[in-house]
């Protein structure tokens, strides 16, 4: 390249620099917690972004003999099979007697892939991270699996920590003892 060509490029660069719009400057550098507002066993909860794979209609399940009462069965999902867990029985130890739970969240963790029925699905929501309350009491059935939460209107939304739930040995062992079995007839 000749010197005149390089000068032309230099002048073009200066011209663009003078016409360029400056990048916006954000004055509010506040960090936000982002997640999904839903309910399990009628307890309002939050799940952090990326904690669940998706929310689906609760699929038809095939019961699995010899499992605990909170295992509804196994269902087809995206060409594979996943166990579907009743959130009411898992957390409250009592079946829900109203309308069938229409939705469940699909969770995938290392070694775990399952669905948990939901009592309500609200929406994605975000809160300033500074507003997280780690001291507010959480429903006793969920306390071991939650890490604080946020006040939203007149209710407190606890943050369900899926890693704590998956680490719980009770969830990992779905096989029932003889008295906990979901089987109607036990042929001994």
pLDDT at 175: 72
Question: Is 4 contained in some domain?
Answer: no
CATH number for the domain spanning 141: value is 2.40.50.180
Residue by residue, pLDDT tens for the chain (188 residues) are 677 787 888 888 888 888 888 877 777 778 999 999 999 998 999 999 988 899 999 999 999 999 888 999 999 999 889 999 999 999 888 887 777 789 999 998 888 889 999 999 988 999 999 999 999 999 999 999 999 999 999 999 999 999 888 887 677 777 766 554 444 444 44
Question: Is 115 contained in some domain?
Answer: yes
pLDDT at 32: 92
Task: For the chain, give the number of residues.
Answer: 188
In the chain, alpha helices (H): 3-19, 87-92, 162-167, 169-172
Question: Is 185 contained in some domain?
Answer: no
Question: Is 75 contained in some domain?
Answer: yes
pLDDT at 84: 94
d(CA 53, CA 44): 19
Question: Is 187 contained in some domain?
Answer: no
Pairing label, strands 155-160, 43-48: parallel
Q: How many domains does the chain have?
A: 1
149, β-bridge pairs? 133, 158
pLDDT at 176: 64
Question: Is 120 contained in some domain?
Answer: yes
Question: Is 136 contained in some domain?
Answer: yes
What is the span of the domain harbouring residue 47? 30-169
pLDDT at 170: 76
pLDDT at 187: 43
Question: Is 97 contained in some domain?
Answer: yes
Output b/e per residue, 101-134; b: 16+ Cβ within 10 A: bebbbbbeeeeeebbbbbbeeeeeeebeeeeeee
């Amino acid at each position: 390249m000749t010197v005149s060509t390089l000068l032309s490029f230099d002048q073009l660069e200066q011209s663009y620099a003078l016409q360029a719009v400056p990048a916006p400057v954000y004055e509010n550098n506040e960090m936000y917690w982002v997640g999904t507002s839903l309910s399990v066993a009628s307890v309002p909860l939050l799940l952090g972004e990326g904690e669940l794979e998706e929310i689906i209609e609760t699929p038809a399940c095939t019961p699995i003999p010899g499992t605990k009462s909170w295992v509804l069965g196994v269902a087809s999902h995206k060409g594979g099979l996943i166990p579907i867990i009743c959130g009411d029985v898992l957390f409250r130890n009592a079946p829900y007697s109203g309308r069938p739970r229409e939705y469940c969240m699909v969770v995938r963790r290392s070694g775990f892939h399952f669905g948990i029925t939901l009592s309500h699905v609200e929406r994605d929501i975000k809160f300033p991270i500074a507003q997280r309350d780690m001291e507010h009491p959480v429903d006793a059935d969920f306390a071991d699996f939650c890490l604080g939460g946020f006040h939203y209107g007149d209710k407190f939304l606890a943050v369900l920590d899926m890693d704590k739930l998956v680490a719980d040995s009770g969830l990992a062992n779905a096989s029932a003892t003889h008295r906990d079995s979901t089987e109607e007839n036990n042929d001994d």
